[in-house]
Amino acid sequence: MQHGKYRFIAGFLLVPLAVYGIFVISPFVQAIYYSFTNWTGLSGDFRVTGLENYQRLWHDEVFWKAVGHNVLLLLLLPLLTLGLGLFFAFMLNVGGRRRKNAAVAGVRGSGVYKIIYFFPQVLSLAIVALLFQFAYNPNSGAINSFLSAIGLDSVKPDWLGDPKLALWCVTAVMVWSNVGFYVVLFSAGMASIPKDFYEAALLDGANRLQTFFRITLPLLWDTVQTGWVYMGIMALDGFAFIQIMTMGPGGPDYSTELLSYYLYTKAFRDGQAGYATTVGVALLIVTMIFAGIVMKLGRRERLEF
Amino acid sequence: MSVSTETEAPQTGRPVIDSPRGRLGSEGRVLNVFSHGVLVIWGLMVTMPLLWAVMSAFKTDNEIFTSPWSLPKSLRFDAWRRAWTTAHMSEYFLNSLIVVAGSLAGTMLLGAMAAYVLARFDFPGNRLIYFLFIGGMSFPVILALVPLFFVMKNMELLNTYPGLILVYIAYSLPFTVFFLTGFFRTLPTEVAEAALIDGASHSRTFFQVMLPMAKPGLISVGTFNFLGQWNQYLLPTVLNVGDEHKRLLPQGLVALAASQQYKGDWSGLFAGLVMAMLPVLGAYVVFQRQVQAGLTAGSLK
């Protein structure tokens, strides 16, 4: 029996572990090793160069530009996306006309709103990025022609072509495509908060804004924190948006360069695989710092209800 | 939890003894109008770009440029035909179907096997293996991409479907194992024990007793993986670059955009985009409950 048990365990774990080890673990470990080499990726011979890549990284202006953009996204993207998600979810669940015997109620048709808001979430990032690449087109795109239709003919920004605007355009699209997910997620969380809490607070004279900050947000905190981590990971990637939407390498004047895209161009366009993995290690470090901060800041007493 | 008990200063000269019901009633009505207003605006912001793309797919190139927001003059399907045949969209659909069918089946089988063993059996190294899988959820995939490219090349799996399928499985395992381990732990142990006492082997117990019991969890994580793999863009962009006829849908669409923009075939391009977009949206509307539950499953406690 015991013998059969271990054979069973080994049999069931062998294939998943092998696949995972070969295609996920080993590339990660190799990446760290390659970051200390001058490997081009084109030929098999390379040598270990120690910290040379890291020194070069330290003086690489484009790299620091990319870090700056990634950090900006890291701050903005979760704030905007989760903020809008919470706002709409609160409107859906508490913003409705009061019905009999209920202090708070959801708006009519909240199911329909949730279905529609979720649309972008089921689409491929490639589709979303392409759609907005067309929509931002300064001449025939949806946005500028909408602006001239409502009489704002003189305002015709170049959107993705303008180095000052390009990164904001990309950020807006990332927010657009993710808000719906958090509306649905937070709605599910809000629906499980007992209505009595709101009833009691409102009878005690609290207004809706106070109920949001004193009841809803504290009880949803765990979910918000999870969302923060997800959006952070999204902000640190952003590859598809940059590669598809913005022109040239990393947008006009590197204005939308992100670490992920910089890594990709170094490895697969410039033949600097070793240096590319160094960029990747830097990305890993940023990711770990971010995760550490979220864990530290987010630690709160868990509220059971 | 403490709730502030201050009330706002009364704004009229009326006595402060305002019945809470009445006050809440009027506040509720104002709020209701405001919330519907805000919600409709965001609804429009989500749907208008999608509708604009659908309308453009039926227009001539000239209409797209001169009147982007008006309805198409007639329902023209020749752009759709061009996208489907000459721009190879039909091939891309088929390629995506083949790869995702293989990778989804593989992910579910391997993920469920590993998760079951990790959730139900005590053995040395259990925790280590579990955290090895979970760790994969938080690392940036792109870091592994450069060495992965050469791993695939050396194994002669680069630009092949079996190679892509294996990679899709490998990168879907962390979340699948995480989710299903949690799910198997919540299932009662008695049924499996009864089956073992009745003489079923461990693997038979797994396939005939535990898997059917885990169906709700499998559906959730299956939906999650299907969408993730169907929409995957980064992995094929790097690992499937040889033959243009082997491109997967999102990848093919981006390549199509590059070539059609060059040719100036905008309506064909929009038709291709909408063609890729509508099946997923349609399936989502039909199964929206399952899809929403599946995609948010991992984020709820």
Transcribe A140-151 into DSSP letters.
Answer: T-HHHHHHHHTT
DSSP state letters, B55-67:
HHHTS-HHHHHH-
Note the ipTM here.
0.90
Helix (H) or strand (E) holding A35: none
CA-to-CA distance for B148 and A142, rounded, in angstroms? Answer: 39
Q: How far does A1 lie from chain B, in Å, by closest CA? A: 10
- Range of lowest pLDDT (A188-202, B2-16, B30-44, B237-251): B2-16
- Burial tier of B16 (Cβ tally within 10 Å: 0-12, 13-18, 19+): exposed
With an 8 Å Cβ cutoff, are A214 and B4 in contact?
A: yes
- Is A41 contained in some domain? no
- What pLDDT does residue A100 have? 59
Q: Residue type for B242, please?
A: G
**Range(s) of the domain holding residue A189:** 57-298
Selected residue of A15, A119, A179, A285 to mutate for chain B interface (largest B Cβ count, 10 A): A119
Specify the DSSP class assigned to residue A48: B
CA-to-CA distance for A207 and A163, rounded, in angstroms? Answer: 44
Secondary structure of residue A23 in the 3-state scheme: helix
- Is A27 contained in some domain? no
What residue in B sits closest to A217 (Cα-Cα)?
B1
What mean pLDDT comes out for the span B230-238? 94
Question: What are the residues facing A48 on neighbouring strands?
Answer: A37
CA-to-CA distance for A256 and A247, rounded, in angstroms? Answer: 9
What residue in A sits closest to B7 (Cα-Cα)?
A205
CA-to-CA distance for A37 and A46, rounded, in angstroms? Answer: 7
Q: Residue type for B222, please?
A: G
* CATH code for position A127: 1.10.3720.10
The answer to whether A131 and B49 are in contact (CB under 8 A) is: yes
Instruction: Give the torsion through C-alpha atoms of A57, A59, A65, A70, to 10 deg.
Output: 40
- Is A190 contained in some domain? yes
Tokens of A11: 């049999």
- Is A26 contained in some domain? no
CA-to-CA distance for B14 and B3, rounded, in angstroms? Answer: 26
What residue in B sits closest to A244 (Cα-Cα)?
B254
List CB contacts (< 8 A) between B116 and chain A: 12
Residue A180: which of A227, A239, A131 has the closest Cα?
A: A227
The answer to whether A254 and A20 are in contact (CB under 8 A) is: no
**Per-residue pLDDT tens digits for B129-145:** 999 999 888 888 999 99
List CB contacts (< 8 A) between B146 and chain A: 27, 31, 34, 41, 263, 267, 273, 276-277, 280
What mean pLDDT comes out for the span B81-108? 94
Specify the DSSP class assigned to residue B138: T
Tracing tokens 């000459």 back to the chain, one arrives at B86
CB-nearest to A27 from B144, B257, B291 is: B144
**Per-residue pLDDT tens digits for A51-102:** 999 999 999 999 999 999 999 999 999 999 999 999 999 999 887 776 656 6
The answer to whether A216 and A90 are in contact (CB under 8 A) is: yes
The answer to whether B299 and B227 are in contact (CB under 8 A) is: no
Secondary structure of residue A34 in the 3-state scheme: helix
Would the pLDDT of B9 be above 50?
Answer: no
Would the pLDDT of B51 be above 90?
Answer: yes
CB-nearest to B254 from A122, A239, A244 is: A244
- What pLDDT does residue B300 have? 59
- Is A250 contained in some domain? yes
Could you tell me the CA-to-CA distances from B235 to B63, B225, B241 in Å, in that order? 36, 15, 10
How many degrees, rounded to 5, is the angle at CA B142 between CA B276 and CA B278? Answer: 10
Q: How far does B101 lie from chain A, in Å, by closest CA? A: 17
**Per-residue pLDDT tens digits for A229-268:** 889 988 998 999 999 998 766 677 888 999 999 999 999 9
With an 8 Å Cβ cutoff, are B2 and A124 in contact?
A: no
With an 8 Å Cβ cutoff, are A214 and B138 in contact?
A: no
List CB contacts (< 8 A) between A147 and chain B: none
- For residue A302, name the pLDDT band (cuts at 50, 70, 90): low
What mean pLDDT comes out for the span B15-30? 54
Would the pLDDT of A169 be above 50?
Answer: yes
**Per-residue pLDDT tens digits for A210-226:** 889 999 999 998 889 88
What residue in A sits closest to B64 (Cα-Cα)?
A140
Tokens of A7: 């054979």
- Burial tier of B296 (Cβ tally within 10 Å: 0-12, 13-18, 19+): buried
- What pLDDT does residue B11 have? 42
The answer to whether A260 and A236 are in contact (CB under 8 A) is: yes
What residue in B sits closest to A139 (Cα-Cα)?
B65
Q: Domains in chain A: how many in total?
A: 1
Tokens of A61: 């202006």
- What pLDDT does residue B12 have? 42
Residue B135: which of A236, A288, A222 has the closest Cα?
A: A288
CA-to-CA distance for B110 and A14, rounded, in angstroms? Answer: 10
